[in-house]
Structure 1
Amino acid sequence: MAQPTPARARICADCDGFPLVAITTGLRNRDGSRQTLTATCPACKGHGHTPPASLLARVGR
């Protein structure tokens, strides 16, 4: 008997599923490691996926 598969979460179109990134500044710390800044995707707020369309608010008629 076939097993039902769960619905997959939609991958964020803005970040393509990579919501957190580390950007090097070009500078180095005292121990030789690089200084980095972290940035999160503003569209999905760092989750990597967007809610299904049924959960979004409907506007209009």
Structure 2
Amino acid sequence: MTGPTPATTANAQICRDCDGFASAKVTLGGRDRIGHLRTVTAHCPACHGTGTASARRPRPMDWAVAA
């Protein structure tokens, strides 16, 4: 098999906002004149439809220790 190794649960960074379900088809409530169901695709705004999240970089305020 060639190509990248598929992500497994051990190394996958799953998006926290969509839990890996990054895209969904939403019906518009009608059919066109040919009879096809009218749909639009909605993508997760956090991961842009990939279902994965990049590694989180700590922000400087996360480094602060409570006094």
**By the TM > 0.5 criterion, same fold?**
yes
| Cα-to-partner distance string for 1:11-60 (whole Å, 9 max, x where unaligned) | 1111111111110011101121110011110111111011123xx25324
4+ aligned runs moved over 6 Å, structure 1: none
As a proportion of its length, which structure holds more strand?
Answer: 1
Unaligned runs of 5+ in 1: 1-5
Equivalent of 2:43, from 25, 36, 40? 40
Partner of residue 59, structure 1: 60
Select the structure with the greater relative contact order (CA < 8 A; seq sep ≥ 6).
1
Identity of aligned residues (%): 44
Normalising by structure 1, we get a TM-score of 0.70
Count how many residue pairs are aligned between Structure 1 and Structure 2: 54
Structure 2 gaps, min length 5? 1-7
TM-score by length of 2: 0.65
